[in-house]
Copies of this chain bind each other. A is one copy, B any other.
């Protein structure tokens, strides 16, 4: 059985890669309204593909923004049900000029496939799709019942997925959820993620006078919104590099020595993180390793600033307004609603008298924890051993996957985060790539995961 499927995937690799390239060619940037049509086209392509490999019911579910693609195969009565989640939307590709190959013209260079979404998450979710295809084509059946839930809004915080899951609680019922949208520690070192940070994003606009002014005629006599914005941002961290919003740390969970020792011996070292970040020097809160700062401690990143003249050379202008994009990462037991309230109060408090600030909220997601000792985690560990030839380490991630919490809360199903991304795959950055050997081994691991869950060896 295993031999047959291995031969099938080996034989069809070139076609699998060609299909993945077709998938990546759709510029499914969920944050940018101009790409709404591309997202619809991609959803239709994906649905047709899922029908083609033999899944039963395949639906494109419209939402207030970007559609959900649902597909299932439920012909294993008495066997467990696995909910496979993935997302076919991608991060914006900007800055385009930093890409060595165009982001939506996927290119294979050596062992890597380059393109926006190659890794996050089209490539990784496609490993599950190809695993299902391989099982169905070589065995005529799957070892478990499968429900696929592929959304087009993950990169904008999944605003319509939670209501969808809420409404379809019964239809989506599953024993375990699995997704591949996280990192391995290294090419030969798979990892199961058991912690995710929450997220909370804002756009902060500072406005001063009604229109742009000449910096010669008015410089020194009016408050410059760009300067005010910088002064506000400089007040968001204190001298100890902690976030300076009063009350911000009140609910941050303190972990005991056992957990911190587990993290130290299983997680990346400071050196490894600095190597991954391609920088010589770390930063952040005293008393914590870089791994801890990026996982069990919250953070606040300025992700973009726009204001004034941005062209070549100089322009003598005091701009009328300036904006910053800010991204909080939250940890247990912080509550995004409470943090937003504290943040808004703090901004109101530190806004200089001659400036006005307005705040727009974007995605808000709670942090998530998955029990390392859950049977489904053991099944995933075994799947990695068989697919990658190595037992996984248990890692926390600093990233955010909003749906993990929703699955837990609404379906009562734990989510296995069985990622195939490498630390240098540059997800969210220019020249994102997917390491193709991980695609091939990932297909194997996905098949093994279904087989392990189907074997009944991992009772819930």
Contacts and interface: CB of A to CB of B under 8 A. Distances in A.
A299 to B, nearest CB: 3
Contacts of A319: 303-304
B92 A311 contact: yes
A256 interface: no
A454 interface: no
A214 B304 contact: no
A244 interface: no
Contacts of A227: 233, 236-237, 301-302
A306 B310 contact: yes
Interface in A280-312: 281-285, 290-291, 293-294, 297-312
A219 B307 contact: no
Given A221-B282, A400-B216, A325 B308 contact: yes
Given A209-B277, A220-B398, A313-B32, A226 B428 contact: no
B221 A293 contact: yes
Q: How many copies does the complex hold?
A: 2
B94 A222 contact: no
Given A399-B217, A429-B317, A32 B304 contact: no
Interface string A231-256: 10111110000000000000000000
Contacts of A428: 212-215, 315-317
Contact of A398 (B216, B300, B322): B216
A304 B397 contact: no
A218 B278 CA distance: 11
Given A92-B311, A229-B230, A314-B325, 14 more contacts: A94-B311, A199-B316, A211-B430, A214-B427, A219-B300, A219-B301, A227-B236, A227-B301, A230-B233, A303-B315, A303-B316, A303-B318, A305-B307, A305-B308
